[in-house]
Amino acid sequence: MEQVEFLEQKVFNDLKNMNDGFDESTNLHFNEWDFAIVLDRAEYFGIGIYEIQAWLDGTLYDIEVHEHFKKKATDPSWYKKALMTFSTLQKGLTFTASYKVSAKLLARQ
């Protein structure tokens, strides 16, 4: 199984992509509530999240990366804190991220 296929089937399923053309079509954007579900599923599977982009009205608002928190990409404390901070600072954001599904996990699927 490929990473994109895994993410679509196991992480993004049943969630609404908010990207209506303002970003590359391969970048799925989610509202704050759906993105929290994405993060919970990423934690469950041990998926690495390297960067989170927050967008407001189709424009890039801010970016956070795991290095800013001095945490591994698979450590949920950094990405959950980043989401909480973004959501507190600005309402109405959409979120996208860069993910890494391990080859070991892909091989088991």
Q: Where are the beta strands (DSSP E) in the chain?
A: 30-31, 48-56, 59-65, 93-100
Tracing tokens 């929290």 back to the chain, one arrives at: 36
Tens-binned pLDDT, residue by residue, of the chain (109 aa): 899 999 999 999 999 999 999 999 999 999 999 999 999 999 999 999 999 999 999 999 999 999 999 999 999 999 999 999 999 999 999 999 999 999 999 999 7
pLDDT at 1: 81
Residues recorded for the chain? 109
pLDDT at 103: 94
Distance, CA of 3 to CA of 103 (rounded, Å): 9
The values of phi and psi at residue 30, to 5°, are -130, 150
pTM for this entry: 0.95
Residue 57, burial from CB neighbour count under 10 angstroms (0-12, 13-18, 19+): exposed
Question: Residue 75: what residue type?
Answer: D
Helix (H) or strand (E) holding 108: helix 103-108
pLDDT at 95: 98
